[in-house]
């Protein structure tokens, strides 16, 4: 004759009760853990497997097993499933290592037109060539399994993360030269603030080009916002290209004034034209120092021939190192200009685009901003 089931005395600490209550109210924990937390809390109040089972909607034997596990291993351990032996793995560790090694190579090196692997392509290649490499277990490999194997080693062969190799052996020296110019700007600003009179003996200009500004026209009128109906401007997807323009610009780092030209290209002749603009903008006795990159137009024979016609000391160039354009303060200005004046711009011709750009420069010069460089400036002292 079967004996009556006896109630099990389950003692829970205050900490365990608090954690069980939090788990029982959770909306993110697995349902099995939430259910078992409720079982233990209900059993603590009513030590009856049948009563708890009816209350939580589970079989009384399920409640009994949960309580017995809590008594044997602890209340929080009882919330998790027991470890099961599971099925013997079909894919061997050697096959997984071969697959990971394959993922670290390029797909094009294995005769595919793809540059990099996709997980689907990698699975197909493993099915077709795995047996030849001694891994018959990969004959039925699927994409999902490939994702799991690669995730274990944190391999993402379909992604590319860019880096920048430092190719200029004199990077530090050239950076120091640029920082010394910014340091000179700081000194000139302090001197001008004290004497309340600007020093016209030197002008320091941060210069660069912004090429490829597109002159794009709409093919249908833009529709304005309508309160309560359309929150934004509406624009037809189709557009018409009229070509591109280049903005040649330099910021006077002491006054904040922007000197600019807009041309179809940015060759040596356009750069010389910009230098002529600077030459006319400053008094004859002012030394004009430019911070600029090593673009071919800046060091060409045509540019040097024009510089040779100017008085000694009129122009002085300080070049940023290769891949060091971020050291040039004008880059920040171009970024802001693209996000304000050029953002969503539509024009009917290149001529209109030129006028809009120059109008934007004129508007900036109405209230010039004196830009300040601070990164590693103390090291240039």
Tell me the per-residue pLDDT of 112-139, one tens digit each, with 9 for 90 and over.
999 999 999 999 999 999 999 999 999 9
Residues 192/194/195/198 CA torsion (nearest 10 deg): 10
Place of tokens 């833009």: 222
Place of tokens 């000694």: 312
Report the alpha-carbon distance of residue 223 to residue 230 in Å, rounded. Answer: 9
Report the alpha-carbon distance of residue 118 to residue 114 in Å, rounded. Answer: 9
Q: How many CB atoms are located within 10 Å of the residue 181 CB?
A: 18
Tokens describing residue 230:
């359309």
Confidence label for 87 from pLDDT (cuts 50, 70 and 90): confident
* Burial bucket for residue 198 (CB in 10 Å: 0-12, 13-18, 19+): middle
Q: For strand 202-218 and strand 287-292, is the pairing parallel, antiparallel, or unpaired?
A: parallel
Report the alpha-carbon distance of residue 125 to residue 106 in Å, rounded. Answer: 12
- Across-strand partners of 315? 288
Report the alpha-carbon distance of residue 272 to residue 306 in Å, rounded. Answer: 7
Q: What is the reported pLDDT for 77? A: 87
pLDDT above 60 for 4 = no
Q: What is the reported pLDDT for 103? A: 95
Top pLDDT among 317 and 191 is at 317
**C-alpha distances in Å from residue 250, one per residue of 34, 119, 271:** 65, 48, 11
pLDDT above 50 for 8 = yes
Q: What is the reported pLDDT for 2? A: 46
Closest listed residue to residue 171, CA positions, set 376, 10, 349, 320: 320
pLDDT above 50 for 354 = yes
Mean pLDDT across 224-239: 93
Report the alpha-carbon distance of residue 326 to residue 19 in Å, rounded. Answer: 52
For the chain, the straight-line distance linking the first and the last C-alpha, in angstroms and rounded, comes to 97
* Burial bucket for residue 161 (CB in 10 Å: 0-12, 13-18, 19+): exposed
Mean pLDDT across 43-59: 90
Instruction: Write out pLDDT tens, residues 141-162.
Output: 999 999 999 999 999 999 999 9
Q: Which residues contact 337 (CB under 8 A, 6 or more apart)?
A: 210, 247, 360, 364
- Whole-number mean pLDDT of the chain? 91
Mean pLDDT across 244-253: 96
Q: What is the reported pLDDT for 380? A: 61
pLDDT above 70 for 17 = yes
Quick one: how many helices (H) and strands (E) in the chain?
Answer: 12, 5
């Amino acid at each position: 004759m079967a004996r009556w089931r006896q109630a099990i005395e389950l003692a829970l600490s205050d900490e365990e009760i608090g954690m069980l209550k939090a788990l029982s109210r959770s909306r993110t924990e697995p349902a099995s853990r939430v259910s078992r937390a409720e079982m233990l809390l209900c059993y603590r109040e009513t030590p009856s497997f049948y009563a708890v089972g009816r209350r939580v909607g589970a079989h009384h034997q399920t409640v009994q097993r949960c309580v017995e596990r809590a008594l044997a291993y602890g209340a929080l351990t009882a919330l998790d499933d027991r470890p099961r032996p599971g099925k013997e793995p079909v894919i061997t560790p050697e096959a997984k290592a071969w697959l990971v090694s394959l993922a670290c190579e390029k797909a094009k090196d294995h005769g595919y037109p793809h540059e990099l692997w996709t997980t689907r392509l990698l699975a197909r290649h493993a099915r077709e060539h795995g047996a030849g490499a001694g891994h018959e277990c990969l004959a039925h490999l699927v994409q999902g399994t490939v994702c799991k194997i690669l995730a274990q080693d944190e391999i993402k062969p379909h992604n590319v993360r860019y880096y920048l190799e430092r190719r200029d052996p004199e990077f530090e020296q050239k950076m120091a030269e640029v920082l010394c110019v910014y340091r000179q700007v700081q000194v000139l600003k302090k001197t001008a603030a004290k004497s309340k009179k600007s020093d016209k003996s030197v002008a320091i200009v941060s210069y660069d080009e912004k090429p490829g500004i597109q002159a794009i026209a709409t093919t249908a009128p833009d529709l304005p916002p309508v309160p309560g109906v359309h929150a934004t401007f509406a624009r037809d997807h189709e557009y018409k290209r009229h070509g591109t323009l280049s903005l040649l610009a330099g910021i006077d780092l002491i006054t904040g004034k922007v000197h600019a030209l807009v041309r179809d290209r940015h060759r040596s002749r356009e750069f010389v034209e910009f230098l002529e603009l600077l030459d006319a903008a400053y008094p004859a006795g002012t030394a004009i120092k430019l911070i600029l990159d090593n673009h071919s137009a800046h060091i060409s024979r045509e540019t040097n021939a024009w510089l040779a016609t100017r008085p000694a000391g009129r122009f002085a160039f300080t070049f940023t190192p290769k891949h060091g354009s971020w050291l040039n303060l004008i880059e920040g200005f171009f970024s802001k200009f693209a996000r304000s004046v050029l953002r969503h711009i539509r024009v009917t011709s290149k001529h209109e685009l030129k006028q809009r750009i120059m109008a934007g420069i004129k508007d900036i010069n109405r209230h010039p901003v004196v830009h300040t460089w601070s990164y590693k400036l103390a090291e240039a002292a």
